[in-house]
Amino acid sequence: MTVLIDLPREAPVVGPGVTLRSLSEEVSNRVLLPNTPRWWWIGFALGMALLLTFVVQLIWLFINGVGIWGINIPVAWGFAIAEYVWWIALASGGTIVSALFFLTRSPWRSATNRIAETMLLSAAPCAGLLPIMHLGRQGLFYWLFPYSSVMGVWPQVRSPLWWDFVCLLCYILMSIMYYYTGLLPDLATVRDLARTRWKQVFYGVLALGWHGSARHWRNQQTVYAVMSAIMAPMVISVHSVVGLDFAGGITPGWHSTQFPPYFFFGAVISGTALIMMLTILVRWGYGLEDVLTGYHLNALAKVMLVGSVMLGYAYVWEAWGPIYGSDVAERTQFFYRIFGFYAACYWGKIVLNIVIPQLLWLPIVRRSEVLLFSISAGIIVGMWLERFVIVIPSLSHGYMPSYWGVFFPTFWDWAALAGTIGLFLSLFFLLLKLVPIVSMSEVREIVAKERSR
Amino acid sequence: MSQIFGIVGVFDRPEAVTDAAKHLRSLGFRAMDAYTPYPVEGLDQLLRPQRRMMLPLVMFAAAVAGAAWGYFIQTWDEVLNYPINVGGRPHNSWPAFIVGTFEFMLLVTIAAGLFGFLASCRLPRLYHPIFNADAFGRASVDRFVLCVEARDPSFEVEHLRRIFERFGAERVAEVPA
């Protein structure tokens, strides 16, 4: 009955062969040794090629305006907004794994948190750029800053759109600071293991002279715990405010009080799914099977399953509200969503986000990297469909039948999608080459604990 | 005697460092520090029992200041500088200002945490005499280093060497200043 049997209760978090020295060397060597694996070059080249698409798309957009996309009246929000929500959800997942599970002291978080945060820092710029691209006059985006008040332009601070801007700005800045606080001791390890002069100088400067004294560690531990306790509610607020962007509008299909938690559930499942894919990639590519073990994949899969169940709960309420309520427009909108022109997207998200992830109840699925990778990829596509279904069918089927219409993506819509993926891949692969991808100082504690057991 | 910064004992177990530090403190040594690859529970409390952690207080003060700043930006915009009637809501519609206030509060708190952390560690400081210690590079990998500094009044090389060796140091070395 191995189908139904979970990992043994005392399954090791790290493999038995891992010592403090082998851990530091294996992880540091990935950024120190000159030979770069071929899969890295392939991934990076793919990222750069798509990034080039992004640049071309941006230039064309700046010349011609947002009319190059399929958006029009009534569907004035298209891919850019749907993908903004998609990217910010993927990014938020990084903080959820990193900060929330630091507070619960989950041992599996220690080896995966750097991957999660690297993913977050690569995804957040994609999220940040899309709403700016969507502005009619991109050059004036800085009017959102409170600075514009001094120029005699007053942003409407009572609007969820302004809240969202503030949240995203603060979120990116805070994530960088949180990342760096956790990274500092590892940069010192890389500095100490570096053999060439310029790498010693490069990592020496980045490590700021960290020498791991008792005083340093105690300060770092204290401040990191407080920061985690701040980042966890922060990320919930960020994604809830994204939900408020929609809930604040009276469009049928958006005007719902459940949106803030609904969006947050989506962040849990999609972010964890991307972390799962990247963890499997790093584990395979860097040969870190002993550091990123089945224990980690099992734990991530369980978080993903919880996210799927929570999202299913939100989907039930999304259906129940219009059916039970008395608002005709809401009901019409909902039936359009599930049977209308975009019905395939609706059912696609149900299958990919709710039905297929239920396989994760089976331990045998949680032990198979191929299945985990495929299910995660399906979830990421499914979450993209969910964002599409929230934004586009709602606008295309509003209160007035005379105001109904459909949206078709153009070539440039797809180019924007491909381009942001390129930006993400380029940044992620670059960071993969520059910073240690596993938090060595934290895994050392686990190694020491396991060794003394 | 030539100028030296101190003397280090290199250990391969965290317990050895803790025991040695405990013993040295009981002998009256004060100017010492331990360098470890990961945080060793209670080591700092052992070396500096009187030390109070100010960082959480600093972060709390920053949180209060950040919240005040965030609320002020919005009130100044909407109440003082250019009051405008939006949908009949009061100028100082505080519930709508909460999100902005919250985010500014957290941003300032995290920033205060990072910079306060660096300041309390005396970082950035790219050079420190302890970097001269023999095999100090391994203190960030798999070794636990205890250093007694020469400024301690009862500093004496041979005495300390014997103590370090008694606690199982794999090597003992002087650190040039």
Mean pLDDT within A345-350: 96
Q: What is the pLDDT of residues A356-383, one digit of tens each?
A: 999 999 999 998 999 999 999 999 999 9
Whether B125 and chain A come into contact, CB under 8 Å, resolves to yes
pLDDT for res A10? 66
Residues of A in contact with B121 (CB under 8 A): 210, 215-216, 219-220
- Which residue stretches of B27-125 are H helix? 43-47, 55-75, 94-120
Domains of chain B in sequence order: 4-51+128-176 (3.30.70), 55-120 (no CATH)
Q: Which two tokens stand for residue B169?
A: 């140091």
Give the chain A residue nearest B127 (alpha carbons): A209
Kindly report the average pLDDT of chain B as a whole number. Answer: 89
Q: Distance (Å, rounded) from C-alpha A104 to C-alpha A398?
A: 44
Residues of A whose CB is below 8 A from B136: 192, 211
Tell me, yes or no, if B120 comes closer than 8 A to chain A by beta carbon.
yes
Does the pLDDT at position B99 exceed 90? Answer: yes
Q: Cα separation of A382 and A313, whole Å?
A: 16
What is residue B142's predicted lDDT score, i.e. its pLDDT? Answer: 87
* Chain A residues whose beta carbon lies within 8 Å of the beta carbon of residue B16: none
Mean pLDDT check: name the lowest of A43-52, A132-141, A307-316. A132-141
Q: Is B99 on the interface with A (CB under 8 A)?
A: yes
Closest CA to A226 of B43, B47, B112: B112
> What are the two backbone dihedrals, phi and then psi, of residue A101, each rounded to the nearest 5 degrees?
-85, -5
Q: What is the mean pLDDT of residues B148-168?
A: 87
CA B58 to chain A, closest CA, distance in angstroms equals: 10
SS3 of A173, please? helix
pLDDT, one tens digit per residue, over A123-145 is 999 999 999 999 988 888 888 88
Q: Quickly count: other Cβ atoms within 10 Å of residue A188's Cβ.
A: 27
Contacts of B64 in chain A (CB under 8 A): none
> Which residues of A fall within a CB distance of 8 Å from B127?
209
The predicted model gives B13-32 an average pLDDT of 89
A200 CB within 8 Å of a chain B CB: no
The answer, yes or no, to whether residue A1 has pLDDT greater than 50, is: no
- % of chain A surpassing 90 pLDDT: 73
Place of tokens 């919240």: B67
A-chain CB neighbours of B77 within 8 Å are: 146, 149, 154-155, 157
Between A35 and A267, residue with greater pLDDT:
A267
Q: Hey, are the CB atoms on A162 and B40 less than 8 Å from each other? A: no
Distance CA A382, CA B90 (A): 42
- Residue A205, SS3 per DSSP: helix
Task: Kindly tell me the sign of the dihedral angle through the C-alpha atoms of A50, A52, A57, A58.
Answer: positive
A162, A178, A216 member nearest B110 (Cβ) = A178
In this prediction, residues A271-280 reach a mean pLDDT of 96
Evaluate whether ipTM surpasses 0.90: yes
| Cα dihedral sign, A186-A187-A188-A192 | positive
CB of B106 within 8 Å of a chain A CB? The answer is yes
pLDDT at position B29 is 86
Q: How far is B35 from chain A (nearest CA, A)?
A: 4
Q: Residue ranges of the alpha helices (H) in A65-143?
A: 79-95, 101-103, 109-134
Q: Please report the number of interchain residue pairs, chain A to chain B, with beta-carbon separation below 8 angstroms.
A: 192
Provide, as residue numbers in chain A, all residues whose Cβ is less than 8 Å from the Cβ of B76.
149
pLDDT average, residue stretch B24-44: 89
Contact between A217 and B44 using a beta-carbon 8 Å cutoff = yes
State pLDDT tens for residues A79-89. Answer: 999 999 999 99
Q: How confident is the model at residue A421 (pLDDT cuts 50, 70, 90)?
A: very high
**What's the average model confidence in pLDDT over A409-434?**
95
User: Average per-residue pLDDT in chain A?
Assistant: 91
pLDDT in the model for residue B53: 84
DSSP for A334-394, written as a single string: HHHHHHSTTHHHHHHHIIIIIIGGGGGGSHHHHT-HHHHHHHHHHHHHHHHHHHHHHHHHH
Identify the pLDDT of residue A259: 93
Which of A143-152, A171-180, A280-289 shows the lowest per-residue confidence on average (mean pLDDT)? A143-152
B140 touches A: beta carbon within 8 Å: yes
Report the 10 Å Cβ neighbour count for B84: 9
